[in-house]
Amino acid sequence: MKKVGLPPIVDGESRRLVLGSLPGDRSLATQQYYAFPQNQFWQVLSTVFGELIDDDYEARKDVLRRHNLALWDVARSASRPGSLDASMTNVIPNALPQFLEANPGIVAIGFNGRKAQQLFIRHFPGICIPSRYLPSTSPAHTVPISLKLQVWRKFLLSN
């Protein structure tokens, strides 16, 4: 089943970009990034930034903006039954070179999971912005949250 992603969350002050692979079914149905309650994305940001993040999506987007964080996905669309990245095929990438050109303040990219990193490397070998792998916030990635937080904190709080 072909699935189409969400538009980016970005503004003129964005300095860091978190790239996922493609939103899961719950996120696509609600048109909200990381809407699946067991995904740890908002919990990780809440812990790292030291603030309670409300369930209200507009409030969540405000947290991203206050911390100069942009959010998008490597894939614009893909075929995928369910929400697991491992079953993605027929990937059409987003227009990341144009996005980065339009948002020159972005100085670092973090990949929320291996699939996002792999897709980026495959589709955008010429993009030379510092980037790093971040352990996936998906509940399918069973690394303890304490280990995820160490890596995410370094990315989110570094100069």
Kindly list the domain boundaries of the chain, sorted by start residue. Answer: 2-157
Q: 139: pLDDT confidence band, cut at 50, 70 and 90?
A: confident
Residue 2 has pLDDT above 70, yes or no: yes
The reported pLDDT for the residue numbered 86 is 74
User: What gap in Å lies between CA 137 and CA 83, rounded to an integer?
Assistant: 13
* Beta strands 69-73; 131-134: pairing state: unpaired
Query: Is residue 39 annotated as a catalytic residue, yes or no?
Result: yes
Residue 159 has pLDDT above 70, yes or no: no
Nearest of 6, 133, 25, 147 to residue 85 by alpha carbon: 25
Residue 141 has pLDDT above 80, yes or no: no
The pLDDT tens digits for 83-123 are: 777 778 899 999 999 999 999 999 999 999 999 999 999 99
Say yes or no: domain 2-157 is CATH 1.10.287.130.
no
The mean pLDDT value of the chain amounts to 94
- As a whole number, mean pLDDT of residues 58-81 equals 96
Buried b / exposed e along 114-144 (16+ C-beta atoms within 10 A) = bbbbebbeebbeeeeeebeebbbbbeeeeee
Q: Which of 39, 68, 90, 94 is catalytic?
A: 39
The reported pLDDT for the residue numbered 151 is 97
